[in-house]
C-alpha cells in the first residue's frame, strides 16, 4: 500500500522541508545550527575524540601537570591544549565538560519547557481567576534576577546536579509560561477551538491535541535562548562553587579550576574551555534569533 498523498506524515515532512529552506535563508542562522550540531556531536563522541579519560585516575600522571599547549606528555601523545595542575588533558576535559553542560542545559530547558508551557496554556485556556493567579506568580518570579533566585535555592538545597536542575527550572518555567500563555490566548480565539469544543472533546484533549501543537512554534523560539541561558547560568554557578559537585565537572568547573592559575600566566586552562562555552551559547542564541525572525511578521522588512 502506498502512502496517501495527504497523509499527516507526508504533510508534516513537507512542512519541515519548507521550514528548513526558509531557515537556511539566513547565513547567521545556518552558522549557528552548524556550530551547535558539531558541538553536540563532539560531546556525544567525547570518548572517541579525546586522547585520555580525564577522570580516570589510572591514566593520569602528575608528571604531566601544567604542560603548555603542544607539549608531549609521558603517555606519548601531544596535549594540543595543554594540561591542568593534575595532569589532565584540557582538550579531553572540554569534551567531557561539554557533555555535562549540554545535558544539564537541555535537561533543565526541557523540563521548564514542559512545565512552563503546560501551565501557560492552561492559564490561557481557563482564563479568569486561575489565569490571574498564575500570571501574578510569573510576574513575581520574573521581578527577581535569575542568579538571585538560583543563589537562594542553592544556599538552601546544597550543591549537586539534581539541585542545579531544580534551581534552573525554578528560574526558567516563568519565561515559558508567559510566552505559552500569550501564544495560546491568540489561538484560543480561533474557530477550530470552538469546533473542538462543540464536538464535545474533553478539556484535556482540546488542550493537548489542539491548543498545545498550535502554540508550540512561539514556545520553540524562546526554548533555544533559554537553553543557552541555562548553560550559562549553570557554568556561572559552578564557577562560584555553588553548582555541580566536583565529580560532575562541567565547563564552568573546568574554568573555575583554571582560575587559580591565571595570575601565573597559564592561560590555556581558562581560555580554551571558555571558548567552548562561548561557542555553545552563541550558536544557540543565533538559532534562537533566526527562529524569532521567522516567526515575527514585523521582522520581514
Partner 1 sequence: MTLFIVRRLLQGVFVIVAMSVVVFVGIYLIGNPVDILINPQASIELKQATIERLGLDLPLPLQYFRFVAGALQGDLGQSYVYSVSAFSLIGTALPATLELAFSGLFIALVIGIPLGMWAGYRPNHWSSKVIMGFSILGFSLPTFWVGLMMILVFSVELGILPSGGRGDTVSVLGVEFSFLTLDGLSHLVLPAFNLALFKLGLVIRLVRASMQETLKQDYIRFARAKGLRERDVVGVHAFRNILLPLTTVIGLEFGSLVAFAVVTETIFAWPGMGRLIINSIGVLDRPVIVAYLMMTAVIFVIINLIVDIAYSFLDPRVRMEGNN
Smallest gap from Cβ 4 to partner 1, in A, equals 44
Among the listed residues 20, 37, 127, 158, the single contact to partner 1 using CB under 8 A: 158
The reply on whether position 145 binds partner 1 by CB under 8 A is yes
In whole angstroms, what is the distance from residue 18 CA to residue 21 CA? Answer: 5
Select 130 or 152, whichever has its Cβ closest to partner 1.
Answer: 152
Select 141 or 179, whichever has its Cβ closest to partner 1.
Answer: 141
Smallest gap from Cβ 34 to partner 1, in A, equals 16
Among the listed residues 19, 77, 140, 192, the single contact to partner 1 using CB under 8 A: 140
Residue 263, helix vs strand vs coil: coil
Select 26 or 61, whichever has its Cβ closest to partner 1.
Answer: 26
The reply on whether position 274 binds partner 1 by CB under 8 A is yes
> What count of Cα atoms within 13 Å lies in the side-chain half-sphere of residue 279?
19
In whole angstroms, what is the distance from residue 95 CA to residue 49 CA? Answer: 8
**Angle at 175 (CA atoms; ends 28, 297), nearest 5 degrees:** 50
- Say how many residues make up the chain: 301
Among the listed residues 228, 287, 291, 294, the single contact to partner 1 using CB under 8 A: 228
The reply on whether position 160 binds partner 1 by CB under 8 A is no
The reply on whether position 236 binds partner 1 by CB under 8 A is yes
The reply on whether position 153 binds partner 1 by CB under 8 A is yes
Candidates 242, 217, 266; CA nearest to 166 is 242
The reply on whether position 147 binds partner 1 by CB under 8 A is yes
Smallest gap from Cβ 293 to partner 1, in A, equals 12
Among the listed residues 119, 212, 277, 291, the single contact to partner 1 using CB under 8 A: 277
Contacts 24+ apart (CB under 8 A), 234-240: 234/101, 234/104, 234/105, 234/108, 234/164, 234/168, 235/101, 235/277, 236/147, 237/150, 237/154, 237/164, 237/167, 238/164
The reply on whether position 77 binds partner 1 by CB under 8 A is no
Amino acid at each position: 500500500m502506498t502512502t496517501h498523498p495527504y497523509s499527516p506524515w507526508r504533510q508534516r515532512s513537507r512542512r519541515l522541508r519548507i521550514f528548513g529552506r526558509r531557515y537556511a535563508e539566513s547565513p547567521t542562522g545556518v552558522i549557528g545550527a552548524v556550530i551547535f550540531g558539531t558541538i553536540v556531536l563532539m560531546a556525544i563522541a567525547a570518548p572517541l575524540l579525546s586522547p585520555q579519560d580525564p577522570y580516570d585516575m589510572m591514566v593520569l600522571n602528575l608528571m604531566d601537570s601544567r604542560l603548555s599547549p603542544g607539549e608531549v606528555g609521558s603517555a606519548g601523545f601531544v596535549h594540543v591544549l595543554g594540561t591542568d595542575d593534575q595532569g589532565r588533558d584540557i582538550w579531553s576535559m572540554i569534551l567531557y565538560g561539554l557533555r555535562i553542560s549540554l545535558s544539564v542545559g537541555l535537561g533543565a530547558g526541557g523540563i521548564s519547557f514542559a512545565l512552563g508551557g503546560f501551565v501557560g496554556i492552561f492559564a490561557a485556556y481557563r482564563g479568569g481567576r486561575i489565569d490571574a493567579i498564575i500570571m501574578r506568580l510569573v510576574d513575581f518570579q520574573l521581578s527577581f534576577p535569575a542568579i538571585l533566585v538560583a543563589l537562594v535555592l542553592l544556599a538552601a538545597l546544597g550543591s549537586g546536579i539534581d539541585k542545579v536542575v531544580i534551581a534552573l527550572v525554578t528560574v526558567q518555567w516563568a519565561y515559558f509560561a508567559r510566552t505559552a500563555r500569550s501564544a495560546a490566548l491568540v489561538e484560543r480565539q480561533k474557530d477550530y477551538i470552538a469546533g473542538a469544543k462543540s464536538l464535545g472533546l474533553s478539556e484535556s484533549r482540546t488542550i493537548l491535541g489542539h491548543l498545545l501543537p498550535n502554540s508550540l512554534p512561539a514556545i520553540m523560539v524562546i526554548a533555544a535562548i533559554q537553553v543557552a541561558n541555562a548553560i550559562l547560568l549553570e557554568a556561572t554557578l559552578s564557577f562560584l562553587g555553588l553548582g555541580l559537585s566536583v565529580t560532575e565537572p562541567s565547563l564552568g568547573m573546568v574554568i573555575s579550576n583554571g582560575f587559580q592559575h591565571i595570575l601565573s600566566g597559564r592561560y590555556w586552562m581558562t581560555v580554551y574551555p571558555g571558548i567552548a562555552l562561548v561557542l555553545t551559547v552563541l550558536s544557540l542564541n543565533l538559532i534562537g534569533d533566526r527562529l524569532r525572525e521567522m516567526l515575527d511578521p514585523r521582522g520581514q522588512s
